[in-house]
Amino acid sequence: MMDVKYILPFLESIKSIMEQFGIADIKRGKLAKRDIMHVSTDITAVIGVVGQLRGNIAYSMSTDTAKRIVSAMMMGMPVDQLDEMGRSAIGEFANMVTGNASILLSSNGLEVDITPPSIIFGRDIFFIISSVETISIDMVTPLGNIEVNIGLEV
Amino acid sequence: MVIKRILLVDDSPIIHRLLRRTLEKHGYEVCGDAKDGREGVQMYQSLRPDLVFMDITMPIMDGLEAAKKIKEIDPEARIIMLSAMGDEDIMGQAQELGIDIFLKKPFDDYKIISAISRVV
Amino acid sequence: MDRELYGPFVTSVIDIIKEMTDVEIEGMDSMVEEPGEIPSLGISSIITFAGGKKGRLLMDMEPTLALHMANTILGEQFHDVKDHMVLSAVAEINNIVSGNAITLINNRLSMNLRLAPPVVFAGKDAIISIPKLSSQTAWGNTVHGRIRINVAWEGSVG
Protein backbone atom coordinates (compact mmCIF):
# COMPACT_ATOMS: atom_id res chain seq x y z
CA MET A 1 0.00 0.00 0.00
CA MET A 2 1.10 3.55 -0.82
CA ASP A 3 3.19 5.10 1.97
CA VAL A 4 1.18 7.50 4.11
CA LYS A 5 3.94 10.11 3.78
CA TYR A 6 2.84 10.63 0.16
CA ILE A 7 -0.84 10.86 1.05
CA LEU A 8 -0.71 13.21 4.02
CA PRO A 9 0.54 16.31 2.15
CA PHE A 10 -2.62 16.29 -0.01
CA LEU A 11 -4.93 15.96 2.98
CA GLU A 12 -2.99 18.58 4.97
CA SER A 13 -3.25 20.91 2.00
CA ILE A 14 -7.04 20.63 1.73
CA LYS A 15 -7.16 21.63 5.36
CA SER A 16 -4.79 24.56 5.09
CA ILE A 17 -6.25 25.90 1.83
CA MET A 18 -9.80 25.74 3.21
CA GLU A 19 -8.65 27.40 6.41
CA GLN A 20 -7.43 30.29 4.27
CA PHE A 21 -11.07 30.73 3.20
CA GLY A 22 -12.23 30.63 6.81
CA ILE A 23 -13.38 27.01 6.82
CA ALA A 24 -12.23 25.07 9.88
CA ASP A 25 -13.11 21.70 11.39
CA ILE A 26 -12.09 19.43 8.53
CA LYS A 27 -11.90 15.73 9.34
CA ARG A 28 -10.54 12.71 7.60
CA GLY A 29 -13.20 10.08 6.84
CA LYS A 30 -12.92 6.59 5.48
CA LEU A 31 -10.04 5.34 3.37
CA ALA A 32 -10.24 2.73 0.64
CA LYS A 33 -8.00 1.17 -2.01
CA ARG A 34 -9.26 0.88 -5.57
CA ASP A 35 -8.32 -0.17 -9.08
CA ILE A 36 -11.14 1.65 -10.81
CA MET A 37 -12.61 4.78 -9.37
CA HIS A 38 -16.37 5.06 -9.74
CA VAL A 39 -17.62 8.59 -9.22
CA SER A 40 -21.20 9.11 -8.18
CA THR A 41 -20.94 12.83 -7.40
CA ASP A 42 -21.22 15.52 -10.10
CA ILE A 43 -17.79 17.09 -10.28
CA THR A 44 -14.26 15.74 -10.45
CA ALA A 45 -11.18 17.92 -10.73
CA VAL A 46 -8.09 15.97 -11.75
CA ILE A 47 -4.53 17.21 -11.79
CA GLY A 48 -1.22 15.50 -12.52
CA VAL A 49 2.17 15.49 -10.82
CA VAL A 50 5.49 14.86 -12.52
CA GLY A 51 9.08 14.84 -11.29
CA GLN A 52 10.35 12.66 -8.46
CA LEU A 53 6.76 11.57 -7.87
CA ARG A 54 4.46 10.80 -10.76
CA GLY A 55 0.71 10.39 -10.71
CA ASN A 56 -2.72 11.97 -10.70
CA ILE A 57 -4.89 13.36 -7.93
CA ALA A 58 -8.67 13.60 -8.36
CA TYR A 59 -11.00 15.61 -6.13
CA SER A 60 -14.69 14.67 -6.43
CA MET A 61 -17.63 16.50 -4.89
CA SER A 62 -21.33 17.26 -5.35
CA THR A 63 -22.51 20.41 -7.13
CA ASP A 64 -23.74 21.81 -3.82
CA THR A 65 -20.35 21.31 -2.17
CA ALA A 66 -18.65 22.89 -5.19
CA LYS A 67 -20.94 25.93 -4.99
CA ARG A 68 -20.20 26.34 -1.28
CA ILE A 69 -16.46 26.07 -1.89
CA VAL A 70 -16.60 28.67 -4.68
CA SER A 71 -18.67 30.94 -2.46
CA ALA A 72 -16.11 30.62 0.36
CA MET A 73 -13.30 31.35 -2.11
CA MET A 74 -15.15 34.53 -3.13
CA MET A 75 -15.49 35.87 0.41
CA GLY A 76 -19.00 34.48 0.89
CA MET A 77 -20.48 35.84 -2.30
CA PRO A 78 -23.66 33.82 -3.01
CA VAL A 79 -23.23 31.24 -5.79
CA ASP A 80 -26.53 30.00 -7.22
CA GLN A 81 -25.16 28.06 -10.11
CA LEU A 82 -21.81 26.85 -11.22
CA ASP A 83 -21.18 29.04 -14.26
CA GLU A 84 -17.94 29.29 -16.16
CA MET A 85 -16.35 31.42 -13.45
CA GLY A 86 -17.44 28.96 -10.77
CA ARG A 87 -16.05 26.01 -12.68
CA SER A 88 -12.80 27.81 -13.20
CA ALA A 89 -12.72 28.45 -9.44
CA ILE A 90 -12.98 24.70 -8.78
CA GLY A 91 -10.01 24.19 -11.10
CA GLU A 92 -8.17 26.86 -9.16
CA PHE A 93 -9.06 25.11 -5.88
CA ALA A 94 -7.55 21.84 -7.17
CA ASN A 95 -4.52 23.81 -8.34
CA MET A 96 -4.03 25.47 -4.94
CA VAL A 97 -4.40 22.24 -2.97
CA THR A 98 -2.09 20.24 -5.22
CA GLY A 99 0.40 23.11 -5.54
CA ASN A 100 0.54 23.43 -1.76
CA ALA A 101 1.03 19.66 -1.45
CA SER A 102 3.91 19.83 -3.94
CA ILE A 103 5.61 22.42 -1.71
CA LEU A 104 5.17 20.14 1.32
CA LEU A 105 6.61 17.24 -0.68
CA SER A 106 9.61 19.25 -1.82
CA SER A 107 10.37 20.21 1.78
CA ASN A 108 10.61 16.44 2.30
CA GLY A 109 13.15 16.25 -0.51
CA LEU A 110 10.83 15.26 -3.39
CA GLU A 111 10.86 17.71 -6.28
CA VAL A 112 7.53 17.62 -8.06
CA ASP A 113 5.77 19.83 -10.55
CA ILE A 114 2.01 19.99 -11.08
CA THR A 115 0.17 19.94 -14.44
CA PRO A 116 -2.96 21.87 -15.53
CA PRO A 117 -6.24 20.74 -13.91
CA SER A 118 -9.16 19.31 -15.90
CA ILE A 119 -12.71 19.33 -14.55
CA ILE A 120 -15.10 16.53 -15.47
CA PHE A 121 -18.84 16.94 -14.91
CA GLY A 122 -21.27 14.06 -14.86
CA ARG A 123 -22.44 11.25 -12.64
CA ASP A 124 -21.78 7.56 -12.86
CA ILE A 125 -18.36 7.87 -14.45
CA PHE A 126 -15.67 5.18 -14.30
CA PHE A 127 -12.12 6.49 -14.02
CA ILE A 128 -8.65 5.03 -14.01
CA ILE A 129 -6.07 7.56 -12.80
CA SER A 130 -3.12 5.28 -12.11
CA SER A 131 -1.68 2.01 -13.38
CA VAL A 132 -0.78 1.09 -9.82
CA GLU A 133 -3.29 1.65 -7.04
CA THR A 134 -5.60 4.48 -6.17
CA ILE A 135 -6.15 5.44 -2.54
CA SER A 136 -9.45 7.11 -1.87
CA ILE A 137 -10.05 9.27 1.22
CA ASP A 138 -13.20 11.12 2.19
CA MET A 139 -12.52 14.56 3.60
CA VAL A 140 -15.47 15.64 5.73
CA THR A 141 -15.83 19.42 5.70
CA PRO A 142 -18.58 21.81 6.87
CA LEU A 143 -19.18 22.56 3.17
CA GLY A 144 -19.73 18.90 2.30
CA ASN A 145 -17.55 15.89 1.55
CA ILE A 146 -14.61 15.95 -0.84
CA GLU A 147 -13.45 12.55 -2.04
CA VAL A 148 -9.72 12.67 -2.67
CA ASN A 149 -8.35 9.96 -4.96
CA ILE A 150 -4.59 9.68 -4.96
CA GLY A 151 -2.95 7.65 -7.72
CA LEU A 152 0.78 8.02 -7.23
CA GLU A 153 3.24 5.69 -8.88
CA VAL A 154 5.34 4.99 -5.81
CA MET B 1 24.34 -17.40 -27.37
CA VAL B 2 20.81 -18.41 -28.31
CA ILE B 3 18.01 -16.27 -26.95
CA LYS B 4 15.12 -18.23 -25.61
CA ARG B 5 13.86 -16.97 -22.23
CA ILE B 6 12.72 -13.35 -22.10
CA LEU B 7 11.71 -11.12 -19.17
CA LEU B 8 9.18 -8.33 -19.78
CA VAL B 9 9.24 -5.18 -17.63
CA ASP B 10 6.41 -2.71 -18.28
CA ASP B 11 3.67 -1.12 -16.18
CA SER B 12 1.01 -1.57 -18.86
CA PRO B 13 -0.86 -4.89 -18.92
CA ILE B 14 -1.64 -4.13 -22.56
CA ILE B 15 2.04 -4.11 -23.52
CA HIS B 16 2.62 -7.40 -21.67
CA ARG B 17 -0.16 -9.06 -23.65
CA LEU B 18 1.04 -7.66 -26.98
CA LEU B 19 4.67 -8.60 -26.43
CA ARG B 20 3.84 -12.06 -25.13
CA ARG B 21 1.69 -12.74 -28.19
CA THR B 22 4.46 -11.65 -30.58
CA LEU B 23 7.24 -13.50 -28.75
CA GLU B 24 5.38 -16.78 -28.27
CA LYS B 25 4.30 -16.76 -31.91
CA HIS B 26 7.97 -16.69 -32.85
CA GLY B 27 9.01 -19.46 -30.47
CA TYR B 28 10.34 -17.44 -27.54
CA GLU B 29 9.42 -18.10 -23.94
CA VAL B 30 8.26 -15.25 -21.69
CA CYS B 31 9.75 -16.33 -18.37
CA GLY B 32 8.54 -13.40 -16.31
CA ASP B 33 6.22 -10.37 -16.26
CA ALA B 34 7.42 -7.51 -14.05
CA LYS B 35 5.21 -4.43 -13.66
CA ASP B 36 7.83 -1.97 -12.45
CA GLY B 37 11.60 -1.52 -12.42
CA ARG B 38 12.19 -2.86 -8.94
CA GLU B 39 10.27 -6.04 -9.68
CA GLY B 40 12.24 -6.25 -12.94
CA VAL B 41 15.59 -6.22 -11.11
CA GLN B 42 14.38 -8.84 -8.61
CA MET B 43 13.06 -11.08 -11.37
CA TYR B 44 16.28 -10.68 -13.37
CA GLN B 45 18.23 -11.89 -10.38
CA SER B 46 16.08 -14.94 -9.76
CA LEU B 47 15.23 -15.89 -13.36
CA ARG B 48 18.43 -14.96 -15.23
CA PRO B 49 16.65 -14.50 -18.57
CA ASP B 50 18.54 -14.36 -21.89
CA LEU B 51 16.99 -10.98 -22.71
CA VAL B 52 14.95 -8.19 -21.09
CA PHE B 53 12.40 -5.88 -22.72
CA MET B 54 12.38 -2.77 -20.54
CA ASP B 55 9.93 0.15 -20.51
CA ILE B 56 11.23 3.52 -19.23
CA THR B 57 8.47 5.43 -17.49
CA MET B 58 7.32 3.11 -14.71
CA PRO B 59 6.28 3.31 -11.06
CA ILE B 60 8.60 2.69 -8.12
CA MET B 61 11.77 2.44 -10.22
CA ASP B 62 12.07 3.67 -13.80
CA GLY B 63 13.55 1.59 -16.60
CA LEU B 64 16.86 3.47 -16.82
CA GLU B 65 17.53 2.92 -13.13
CA ALA B 66 16.46 -0.72 -13.38
CA ALA B 67 18.71 -1.28 -16.43
CA LYS B 68 21.63 0.19 -14.51
CA LYS B 69 20.99 -2.14 -11.55
CA ILE B 70 20.70 -5.16 -13.84
CA LYS B 71 24.01 -4.26 -15.54
CA GLU B 72 25.60 -4.11 -12.08
CA ILE B 73 24.34 -7.62 -11.29
CA ASP B 74 25.30 -8.92 -14.72
CA PRO B 75 27.43 -6.74 -17.01
CA GLU B 76 26.62 -9.11 -19.88
CA ALA B 77 22.86 -8.63 -19.49
CA ARG B 78 21.03 -8.05 -22.77
CA ILE B 79 18.43 -5.31 -22.51
CA ILE B 80 16.20 -3.81 -25.19
CA MET B 81 14.59 -0.56 -24.12
CA LEU B 82 11.01 -0.18 -25.37
CA SER B 83 9.46 3.18 -24.64
CA ALA B 84 6.89 5.70 -25.87
CA MET B 85 9.22 8.50 -24.78
CA GLY B 86 12.60 8.68 -26.45
CA ASP B 87 13.94 12.22 -26.55
CA GLU B 88 17.65 13.00 -26.81
CA ASP B 89 18.03 13.28 -23.04
CA ILE B 90 16.59 9.81 -22.42
CA MET B 91 18.45 8.26 -25.37
CA GLY B 92 21.72 9.74 -24.08
CA GLN B 93 21.16 8.22 -20.65
CA ALA B 94 20.37 4.82 -22.18
CA GLN B 95 23.52 4.96 -24.29
CA GLU B 96 25.66 5.70 -21.24
CA LEU B 97 24.29 2.55 -19.63
CA GLY B 98 25.48 0.52 -22.57
CA ILE B 99 22.00 -0.19 -23.90
CA ASP B 100 22.50 -0.87 -27.58
CA ILE B 101 18.93 -1.21 -28.74
CA PHE B 102 16.27 1.38 -28.09
CA LEU B 103 12.85 0.77 -29.66
CA LYS B 104 10.02 3.27 -29.76
CA LYS B 105 6.44 2.25 -29.10
CA PRO B 106 4.29 1.31 -30.91
CA PHE B 107 5.81 -1.86 -32.30
CA ASP B 108 4.93 -4.69 -34.61
CA ASP B 109 6.24 -8.25 -34.86
CA TYR B 110 8.95 -7.31 -37.33
CA LYS B 111 10.34 -4.52 -35.13
CA ILE B 112 10.53 -6.84 -32.12
CA ILE B 113 11.90 -9.91 -33.87
CA SER B 114 14.51 -8.04 -35.89
CA ALA B 115 15.68 -6.27 -32.72
CA ILE B 116 16.17 -9.63 -31.02
CA SER B 117 18.26 -10.83 -33.94
CA ARG B 118 20.44 -7.74 -33.58
CA VAL B 119 21.30 -8.36 -29.89
CA VAL B 120 22.61 -11.83 -30.60
CA MET C 1 -1.31 28.96 -33.49
CA ASP C 2 2.15 27.54 -33.13
CA ARG C 3 2.27 24.55 -35.45
CA GLU C 4 5.25 23.03 -33.68
CA LEU C 5 3.27 22.72 -30.44
CA TYR C 6 0.04 21.32 -31.90
CA GLY C 7 0.93 19.55 -35.15
CA PRO C 8 2.87 16.65 -33.56
CA PHE C 9 -0.23 15.45 -31.70
CA VAL C 10 -2.32 15.28 -34.88
CA THR C 11 0.37 13.40 -36.82
CA SER C 12 1.00 11.13 -33.88
CA VAL C 13 -2.65 10.17 -33.28
CA ILE C 14 -3.19 9.36 -36.98
CA ASP C 15 0.04 7.34 -37.35
CA ILE C 16 -0.14 5.46 -34.07
CA ILE C 17 -3.79 4.46 -34.27
CA LYS C 18 -3.13 3.21 -37.81
CA GLU C 19 -0.07 1.29 -36.69
CA MET C 20 -1.57 -0.21 -33.52
CA THR C 21 -5.12 -0.93 -34.67
CA ASP C 22 -5.10 -0.57 -38.47
CA VAL C 23 -7.85 2.07 -38.21
CA GLU C 24 -7.64 4.98 -40.67
CA ILE C 25 -8.55 8.40 -39.33
CA GLU C 26 -9.99 10.66 -42.02
CA GLY C 27 -10.49 14.38 -42.07
CA MET C 28 -8.17 15.35 -39.24
CA ASP C 29 -6.52 18.02 -41.34
CA SER C 30 -7.27 21.18 -39.42
CA MET C 31 -7.61 22.42 -35.86
CA VAL C 32 -10.18 24.82 -34.53
CA GLU C 33 -10.20 26.86 -31.36
CA GLU C 34 -12.38 25.12 -28.75
CA PRO C 35 -14.71 27.74 -27.27
CA GLY C 36 -15.33 26.16 -23.89
CA GLU C 37 -16.60 22.93 -22.50
CA ILE C 38 -16.24 19.65 -24.33
CA PRO C 39 -19.04 17.06 -24.18
CA SER C 40 -17.38 13.63 -24.15
CA LEU C 41 -18.18 11.28 -27.03
CA GLY C 42 -18.24 8.40 -24.53
CA ILE C 43 -14.69 7.51 -23.58
CA SER C 44 -11.93 10.03 -22.98
CA SER C 45 -8.32 10.00 -21.94
CA ILE C 46 -6.30 12.93 -20.65
CA ILE C 47 -2.52 13.15 -20.44
CA THR C 48 -0.98 16.23 -18.88
CA PHE C 49 2.62 17.36 -19.05
CA ALA C 50 4.93 19.82 -17.33
CA GLY C 51 8.48 21.04 -17.80
CA GLY C 52 9.46 24.01 -19.98
CA LYS C 53 5.73 24.62 -20.42
CA LYS C 54 2.55 22.97 -19.16
CA GLY C 55 -0.13 21.40 -21.28
CA ARG C 56 -2.63 18.67 -21.89
CA LEU C 57 -3.81 16.25 -24.55
CA LEU C 58 -7.41 15.05 -24.50
CA MET C 59 -8.24 12.09 -26.73
CA ASP C 60 -11.99 11.53 -26.95
CA MET C 61 -13.88 8.91 -28.94
CA GLU C 62 -17.14 7.08 -29.45
CA PRO C 63 -17.53 3.78 -27.55
CA THR C 64 -17.77 1.79 -30.82
CA LEU C 65 -14.30 2.99 -31.83
CA ALA C 66 -12.78 2.33 -28.39
CA LEU C 67 -14.19 -1.21 -28.37
CA HIS C 68 -12.97 -1.91 -31.88
CA MET C 69 -9.45 -0.72 -31.04
CA ALA C 70 -9.30 -2.65 -27.75
CA ASN C 71 -10.57 -5.80 -29.46
CA THR C 72 -7.99 -5.44 -32.24
CA ILE C 73 -5.09 -4.84 -29.87
CA LEU C 74 -6.02 -7.54 -27.37
CA GLY C 75 -7.45 -10.11 -29.76
CA GLU C 76 -10.57 -10.56 -27.65
CA GLN C 77 -14.18 -9.45 -27.79
CA PHE C 78 -15.05 -6.77 -25.24
CA HIS C 79 -18.55 -5.30 -25.14
CA ASP C 80 -18.39 -2.77 -22.33
CA VAL C 81 -16.22 0.37 -22.47
CA LYS C 82 -16.12 0.36 -18.66
CA ASP C 83 -14.18 -2.90 -18.76
CA HIS C 84 -10.79 -2.43 -17.12
CA MET C 85 -8.94 -3.79 -20.17
CA VAL C 86 -10.78 -1.47 -22.58
CA LEU C 87 -10.05 1.56 -20.41
CA SER C 88 -6.41 0.42 -20.11
CA ALA C 89 -6.10 -0.03 -23.87
CA VAL C 90 -7.35 3.52 -24.52
CA ALA C 91 -5.01 4.84 -21.82
CA GLU C 92 -2.07 3.00 -23.40
CA ILE C 93 -2.86 4.32 -26.89
CA ASN C 94 -2.90 7.84 -25.44
CA ASN C 95 0.35 7.15 -23.63
CA ILE C 96 2.07 6.17 -26.86
CA VAL C 97 0.50 9.03 -28.86
CA SER C 98 1.57 11.58 -26.22
CA GLY C 99 4.99 9.99 -25.73
CA ASN C 100 5.75 10.22 -29.44
CA ALA C 101 4.46 13.79 -29.79
CA ILE C 102 6.28 15.03 -26.68
CA THR C 103 9.52 13.33 -27.78
CA LEU C 104 9.35 15.32 -31.02
CA ILE C 105 8.56 18.57 -29.20
CA ASN C 106 11.34 18.00 -26.65
CA ASN C 107 13.87 17.38 -29.39
CA ARG C 108 12.81 20.32 -31.53
CA LEU C 109 12.17 22.91 -28.87
CA SER C 110 14.29 21.70 -25.91
CA MET C 111 11.28 21.76 -23.59
CA ASN C 112 12.20 18.94 -21.21
CA LEU C 113 8.52 17.98 -20.85
CA ARG C 114 7.53 15.01 -18.70
CA LEU C 115 4.21 13.19 -18.85
CA ALA C 116 1.86 12.43 -15.98
CA PRO C 117 0.21 9.00 -16.25
CA PRO C 118 -2.93 8.81 -18.40
CA VAL C 119 -6.33 9.48 -16.89
CA VAL C 120 -9.12 7.62 -18.66
CA PHE C 121 -12.84 7.69 -18.05
CA ALA C 122 -16.12 6.47 -19.49
CA GLY C 123 -19.63 7.48 -18.61
CA LYS C 124 -22.80 8.91 -19.98
CA ASP C 125 -22.92 12.62 -20.83
CA ALA C 126 -19.62 13.60 -19.22
CA ILE C 127 -18.50 17.17 -19.88
CA ILE C 128 -14.85 18.17 -19.77
CA SER C 129 -13.77 21.66 -18.89
CA ILE C 130 -10.26 23.03 -18.87
CA PRO C 131 -10.33 26.35 -17.11
CA LYS C 132 -8.25 29.22 -18.39
CA LEU C 133 -6.45 27.29 -21.10
CA SER C 134 -6.93 28.06 -24.74
CA SER C 135 -7.22 24.83 -26.66
CA GLN C 136 -7.40 23.53 -30.22
CA THR C 137 -9.51 20.64 -31.42
CA ALA C 138 -9.03 18.36 -34.43
CA TRP C 139 -11.94 16.12 -35.45
CA GLY C 140 -11.53 12.82 -37.21
CA ASN C 141 -13.77 10.11 -38.61
CA THR C 142 -13.22 6.40 -38.80
CA VAL C 143 -15.48 3.62 -40.03
CA HIS C 144 -15.91 2.61 -36.37
CA GLY C 145 -16.88 6.01 -34.99
CA ARG C 146 -15.70 9.56 -34.42
CA ILE C 147 -12.59 10.70 -32.57
CA ARG C 148 -11.27 14.07 -31.61
CA ILE C 149 -8.14 15.34 -29.97
CA ASN C 150 -7.91 18.57 -28.06
CA VAL C 151 -4.55 20.13 -27.25
CA ALA C 152 -4.06 22.87 -24.66
CA TRP C 153 -0.93 24.75 -23.62
CA GLU C 154 -0.57 27.12 -20.71
CA GLY C 155 0.48 30.63 -21.63
CA SER C 156 -0.31 30.03 -25.27
CA VAL C 157 -2.20 32.56 -27.32
CA GLY C 158 -3.79 29.74 -29.30
Q: What is the mean pLDDT of residues C62-70?
A: 98
DSSP B76: T
The CA distance from B77 to B72, in Å, is 9
pLDDT per residue as tens digits for the range C75-119: 999 999 999 999 999 999 999 999 999 999 999 999 999 999 999
pLDDT per residue as tens digits for the range A42-77: 999 999 999 999 999 999 999 999 999 999 999 888
B11 touches chain A (CB under 8 A): yes
pLDDT per residue as tens digits for the range C30-58: 999 987 789 999 999 999 999 999 999 99
In Å, how far is C19's CA from the nearest CA of chain A?
23
Q: How buried is B36 (Cβ within 10 angstroms: 0-12 exposed, 13-18 middle, 19+ buried)?
A: buried
C130 touches chain A (CB under 8 A): yes
Q: Which residues of C touch B84 (CB under 8 A)?
A: 95-96, 98-100, 103
Q: Which residues of A touch B12 (CB under 8 A)?
A: 131
Q: Which residues of A touch C115 (CB under 8 A)?
A: 50
Residues 6+ apart with CB under 8 A from B11: A131, A132, A153, B35, B36, B55, B57, B58, B59
Q: Quick one: what percent of chain B has pLDDT higher than 90?
A: 89
The CA distance from C150 to C158, in Å, is 12
Exposure string for C116-126, b = 16+ CB within 10 A, e = fewer: bbbbbbbbeeb
Computed over every residue of chain C, the mean pLDDT equals: 93
How many Cα atoms are found within 13 Å in the side-chain-facing hemisphere of B112?
Answer: 25
Closest Cα in chain B to A130: B59
In Å, how far is A34's CA from the nearest CA of chain C?
12
C96, B106: Cβ pair inside 8 Å?
A: yes
In Å, how far is A37's CA from the nearest CA of chain C?
9
Q: What is the mean pLDDT of residues B35-48?
A: 97
A49, C122: Cβ pair inside 8 Å?
A: no
What's the pLDDT at A37? Answer: 85
DSSP C73: H
DSSP B79: E
B108, C88: Cβ pair inside 8 Å?
A: no
In Å, how far is C36's CA from the nearest CA of chain B?
30
pTM score: 0.92
Q: What is the mean pLDDT of residues A116-138?
A: 92
A58, C119: Cβ pair inside 8 Å?
A: yes
B12 touches chain A (CB under 8 A): yes
B59 touches chain A (CB under 8 A): yes
A127, C125: Cβ pair inside 8 Å?
A: no
Mutation target vs C (from B10, B22, B25, B87; most C CBs, 10 A cutoff):
B87
In Å, how far is B90's CA from the nearest CA of chain C?
10
In Å, how far is C35's CA from the nearest CA of chain B?
31
Using pLDDT thresholds of 50, 70 and 90, give the confidence band for residue C1.
low
A50 touches chain B (CB under 8 A): no
Q: What is the mean pLDDT of residues A107-114?
A: 92
Q: Which residues of C touch A125 (CB under 8 A)?
A: 121-123, 126
Instruction: For chains B and C, count residue pairs whose Cβ atoms are closer than 8 Å.
Output: 49
CB C98 within 8 A of CB C49: yes
Q: Is the ipTM of this complex over 0.90?
A: yes
The CA distance from C7 to C29, in Å, is 10
Q: Which residues of B touch C112 (CB under 8 A)?
A: 89
Neighbours of chain C (3+ CB pairs under 8 A): A, B
What's the pLDDT at C118? Answer: 96
A56, C128: Cβ pair inside 8 Å?
A: no
